[in-house]
Structure 1
Amino acid sequence: MRVFVTGASGFVGSAIVRELLQAGHTVLGMVRSDTAAEALSQTGAEVYRGNLNDLESLKNGASQCDAVIHTAFNHDFSRFKENCEDDRKVITAIGSVLAGSGRPFVITSGVGIMNYGKALTENDNPPASDVAPRAASEEAANALAQQGVKTYIVRLPPTVHDKGDHGFVPMVIGMAKEKGVSAYIGEGSNHWPAVHRLDAAVMYRLIIEQQPAQRIFHSVAEEGITFRRIATAIGEGLHLPTVSKDGKEAEAHFGWFMHFASINCLASSEQSRKTLGWKPVQNSLLEDLVPGVYF
């Protein structure tokens, strides 16, 4: 298959590109910069210059391929709601050239937008986007499905880990370095699910190859790791004390990240594993929180 991949030079997208190429597929990868184009070209993928603001370029790229995997997202949290609405526009634009074609379109969402006091399954739906802005992506995919687009949703956990990660875990590490302590909130009993990016990449590939009847998948290798365990591993890695913080002390430590540090989201991937035959084989998050990977 020839696969159009947005965010092809990103942390998750680049792993998907390599996974697809190793499985014998060809890739048309969308990148913005010259540096990203050079890196993508060296993998053997075909470079496609475009960006999320150019909807026509997205439609053109999608129209040339047998499948589309969309991983690109603007992670500027100072305009998070706007970025989520922009993702709705991107998904809608790409889907407009796929309707009725039978070509699979895989979009990316997150399990962290739901907290229902139980282990989430693929049957659970997020609240509306006016409550959880990131749900805009799933709303767009669901709308396209009603228009005859073969859409799939991959929900990633709060941490997708591996060397080169620039997401939540490095942010928590940076705060620990700055404050001189590794912190968790209260008892630290809130849970973060996790997956290694190479395992996540396999799931995206399996979806476009198998195109199953199931439409929502959880790319979750570990159902939930307590934030206290994560903070403790970070403290050990940095040779800093690990402490509990509450109230204003916690707010002072985590700042704008307080919401994410408080996420309590157990997530199951049982249905996804059964449907796709997906078996995570890479390191766990705590196994990666060692010198040479995160330190």
Structure 2
Amino acid sequence: MRVFVTGATGFIGSAIVKELIGAGHQVLGLTRSDAGADALIAAGAQVHRGTLEDLHSLQSGVDACDGVIHTAFIHDFSKFQENCETDRRVIAAMGDVLAGSNRPLIVTSGTGLGAHAPGELAVESNVATSKTSHHPRVASEEAAEAVAAQGVNVSIMRLPPSVHDKGDHGFVPILIGIAREKGVSAYVADGANRWPAVHRLDAARLYRLVLEKGVPQTYHAVGDGGIPTRQIAEVIGSHLNLPVISLSPQEAGAHFGWFAGFFGSDVPASAQLTQQRVDWQPTHPGLIADLEMGHYFEK
């Protein structure tokens, strides 16, 4: 299968490209830069120049392939809602090309949308709309449902807050950076609120399995269903030789800044249906084991 991958040079997308090529697929990877093109060629993929704002370029990439894995997203949290609406337009544009063809499209979302109340276990069967969630990323799932209604073979891949491995530049490195800056590793209240996580190589394999044999469904790429945030803070404190402290929700805002709302959330998630649907089991280290390896703390 020839697969168009957006976000092909990113942390998750690059692992998907490697997974696909290793399984005998051809990859056409989206990139905007010369460095990205070089990385794709080195990985054995073909290069497609374009951006998420250039919908015609995206559509030509989709048109040239047998399936699409869409992982690209503009990670500027100061314009988060605007970027989620960009994703809505991207999915709609790709859907216009795929409608009626049965070529698979996998779009990316977050496990938090699988819960309808704080602290509720997020499950694949929960449908996310603007009526069930105020999270801006619901735009991606609404767009997926809209193109499905047009006859697109679309699946939703929900990723947890932490997708981890060497090279991670997401939420865990943010926590480590805050701990270094503040001189303490902190958690909120009793730290019992839970974070799900997955190793990026396990996530990459799941994308491939869904592409190859998945039916149009919502899938959860979850390895750790819910790690208490206190445990994450304790590992960070141990490796940085810093005290580990509890902060009240009021104190957390000053300490964590914009990140307080994320780290203070209780967002456990299940992958039970996913495991049954495509016979997927995580095989790589969980988040705590990955942290204990030490590579997150190398400067």
TM-score of Structure 1 vs Structure 2, range by shorter chain: over 0.9
- How far residue 247 of structure 1 moved from its aligned partner, in angstroms, is 3.6
**Equivalence for 1:22:** 22
* Percent of aligned positions that are identical: 55
Cα pair 1:3 1:67 within 8 Å, conserved? yes
Cα pair 2:194 2:229 within 8 Å, conserved? yes
SS of the residue 1:120 aligns to: coil
SS of the residue 1:93 aligns to: helix
What is the alpha-carbon distance in structure 1 between the residues aligned to residue 251 and residue 87 of structure 2? 35
The TM-score normalised by the length of structure 2 is: 0.96
The TM-score normalised by the length of structure 1 is: 0.97
**Equivalence for 2:278:** 276
- How far residue 291 of structure 1 moved from its aligned partner, in angstroms, is 4.9
Cα pair 2:214 2:278 within 8 Å, conserved? no
**Equivalence for 1:242:** 244
Amino acid at match of 1:68: V
SS of the residue 1:193 aligns to: strand
Amino acid at match of 2:44: G
Amino acid at match of 2:152: V
What is the alpha-carbon distance in structure 2 between the residues aligned to residue 75 and residue 259 of structure 1? 17
What is the alpha-carbon distance in structure 2 between the residues aligned to residue 22 and residue 247 of structure 1? 46
Cα pair 1:106 1:154 within 8 Å, conserved? yes
Which runs of 5 or more residues in structure 1 are unaligned?
none
**Equivalence for 2:213:** 210
- How far residue 118 of structure 1 moved from its aligned partner, in angstroms, is 2.7
What is the alpha-carbon distance in structure 2 between the residues aligned to residue 141 and residue 39 of structure 1? 29
Q: Could you list the runs of 4 or more consecutive aligned residues of structure 1 that deviate by over 6 angstroms after TM superposition?
A: none
Alignment of 1:50-129 (within 5 A): 50-113=50-113, 114=115, 116=117, 117-128=119-130
* Change over 3 Å in CA distance of 1:270–1:291 after alignment to 2: closer
Out of 242, 256, 261, which is 1:254 matched to?
A: 256
Amino acid at match of 1:126: A
Out of 213, 223, 226, which is 1:224 matched to?
A: 226
What is the alpha-carbon distance in structure 1 between the residues aligned to residue 234 and residue 294 of structure 2? 18
Out of 166, 174, 177, which is 2:177 matched to?
A: 174
What is the alpha-carbon distance in structure 2 between the residues aligned to residue 75 and residue 118 of structure 1? 26
**Equivalence for 1:146:** 149
* Change over 3 Å in CA distance of 1:185–1:115 after alignment to 2: farther
- How far residue 183 of structure 1 moved from its aligned partner, in angstroms, is 0.4
**Mean CA deviation greater in 139-148 or 117-126:** 117-126
* Change over 3 Å in CA distance of 1:115–1:159 after alignment to 2: farther
Cα pair 2:112 2:122 within 8 Å, conserved? no
Cα pair 2:239 2:294 within 8 Å, conserved? no
- How far residue 134 of structure 1 moved from its aligned partner, in angstroms, is 0.4
- How far residue 287 of structure 1 moved from its aligned partner, in angstroms, is 0.7
Which runs of 5 or more residues in structure 2 are unaligned?
none
